Amino acid sequence: MARFYLAPLVLSLFQAGHLLGQRLNGSTAVQMHPSLTWLQCALAGSCSVVNASITETLGMSWFSNPLGIDCWEDHAWNGEICPNAQACYDNCILHWNDDYAELYGITTSSDAVTMRFFTQSSVVNIGNSVLLLDPTSTQAAPTNKYQIFFPLNMELSFDVDVSQLPCGLASSLSFKEISADGGISEDPLNKAGAGWGTGNCDGRCSTDSQFIHGLVWTTLPNVGNTLGACCNEFRLWHGNAVSETMVAHPCSAPGLTTCTAASLGGQCATPSCDVTGCEFNPFREDAPAGFYGVGPTFALDTSRKFTVVTQFITNSNSSTGALTSIRRFYIQDGTTIPNPPPGIAGITPTDEFTDEHCAEQKVAFGEANVFANLGGLATLGSAFQRGMVLEMGIDEDRVDHMLWLDSTFPPGADPQKPGVRRGLCGTDTGVPADVETNDRGAQVVFSNIKFGPIGSTNGFEGTGIYASLQPKCMLTTLQQRWPNSTWATPVARARRSTAPWLHTFLQRWLAAINAAKAPR
Question: Could you state, in order of their start, the residue ranges of all structural domains in the chain?
Answer: 3-468
Is there a contact between 147 and 132 (Cβ–Cβ < 8 Å)?
Answer: yes
Fold of 3-468: 1,4-Beta-D-Glucan Cellobiohydrolase I; Chain A (2.70.100)
Check pLDDT > 60 for residue 498. Answer: no
pLDDT value at residue 122:
79
Mean pLDDT (whole number) for 402-424: 97
The rounded distance, in Å, linking the Cα atoms of 228 and 266 is 9
Q: Contact 176/147 with Cβ under 8 angstroms?
A: no
Q: What is the pLDDT of residue 87?
A: 72
Query: Is residue 201 within 8 Å of 230, Cβ to Cβ?
Result: yes
CA distances from 86 to 15, 62, 72, 78 (A): 9, 18, 15, 13
SS3 155: strand
**pLDDT on residue 188:** 74
Predicted confidence at residue 364, as pLDDT, reads 98
Asked whether 361 and 353 are in contact (CB, 8 A), the reply is no
| C-alpha–C-alpha distance, residues 282 and 245, integer Å | 7
Mean pLDDT throughout 95-111? Answer: 89
Sign of CA dihedral 148, 151, 155, 160: positive
Taking residues 98-105, report their average pLDDT. 90
Please name every residue paired with 202 in a beta bridge, in sequence order, or none if there are none.
230
pLDDT at 382 over 90: yes
Contact 499, 299 (CB under 8 A): yes
The phi and psi torsions of 61 (rounded to 5 degrees) equal: -75, 165
**Least confident interval from 16-25, 49-58, 343-352:** 16-25
Termini Cα distance of the chain: 46
Q: State mean pLDDT over 72-99.
A: 70
Which of 209-213, 255-259, 433-437 holds the top average pLDDT? 433-437
Q: Among the listed ranges 96-110, 250-264, 467-481, which one has the minimum average pLDDT value?
A: 467-481
Planar angle of CA 279, 304, 477, nearest 5 degrees:
75
Q: Which of 140-144, 361-365, 424-428 has the lowest mean pLDDT?
A: 140-144
Which amino acid, one-letter code, is at 327? R
State the amino acid at position 405 in one-letter form: L
**Count of C-beta atoms within a 10 Å radius of residue 413:** 13
pLDDT of 50 higher than 60: yes
Could you tell me if 409 and 400 are in contact, meaning their C-beta atoms sit under 8 angstroms apart? Answer: yes
pLDDT value, residue 495:
36
Selected residue with higher pLDDT from 232 and 82: 232
Task: State the maximum Cα–Cα separation within the chain, in Å, rounded to a whole number.
Answer: 79
DSSP strand E in 271-361: where? Answer: 278-280, 292-293, 300-301, 306-314, 323-332, 335-338, 352-353
DSSP-derived secondary structure letter, 195? G
Mean pLDDT of 236-264: 92
In the structure, what pLDDT confidence band is assigned to residue 242 with cuts at 50, 70 and 90? very high
What is the mean predicted confidence (pLDDT) over 243-263?
Answer: 91
Q: What is the Cα–Cα distance from 200 to 210, expressed in whole angstroms?
A: 10
Residue 164 pLDDT level (bands cut at 50, 70, 90): very high
Mean pLDDT in residue range 50-67:
82
Asked if 223 and 89 count as a contact pair (C-beta separation under 8 A), the reply is no
Phi/psi region, residue 168 (left: phi>0; alpha: psi -120 to 50; beta: rest), is: left
- Which of the pair, 165 or 189, is modelled with greater confidence? 165
Q: Are strands 300-301 and 292-293 parallel, antiparallel or unpaired?
A: parallel
Share of the chain above pLDDT 90, in %: 58
What is residue 265's predicted lDDT score, i.e. its pLDDT?
55
Mean model confidence pLDDT for the chain: 81
Which residues are within 8 A (CB) of 50 and not within 5 positions of it... i.e. 6 or more apart?
Answer: 37, 38, 39, 40, 135
Predicted pLDDT of residue 165 = 99
The whole-number pLDDT of residue 267 equals 74
C-alpha distance from residue 398 to each of 169, 395, 436 (Å): 10, 9, 11
Q: What pLDDT is recorded for position 305?
A: 99
Using an 8 Å Cβ cutoff, are 237 and 390 in contact?
Answer: no
Mean pLDDT of the 435-439 span? 98
Higher pLDDT pick, 196 / 167: 167
Asked whether the predicted pLDDT for residue 437 surpasses 60, the reply is yes
DSSP 342: P
Condensed to tens digits (0 to 9), the pLDDT of residues 212-233 reads 775 555 444 434 456 789 999 9
Summarize pLDDT for 272-291 with one digit per residue, the tens.
999 999 999 999 999 888 99
Question: Could you tell me the pTM of the whole model?
Answer: 0.85
Q: Give the H or E element holding residue 112.
A: strand 112-116
**Structure letter (DSSP) for residue 344:** S
What integer pLDDT is reported at residue 486 of this predicted model?
Answer: 32
Average pLDDT over residues 248-273: 84
Q: Residue 288, SS3?
A: coil
> What mean pLDDT is predicted for residues 453-462?
83
Band of residue 342 on the pLDDT scale cut at 50, 70, 90 = very high
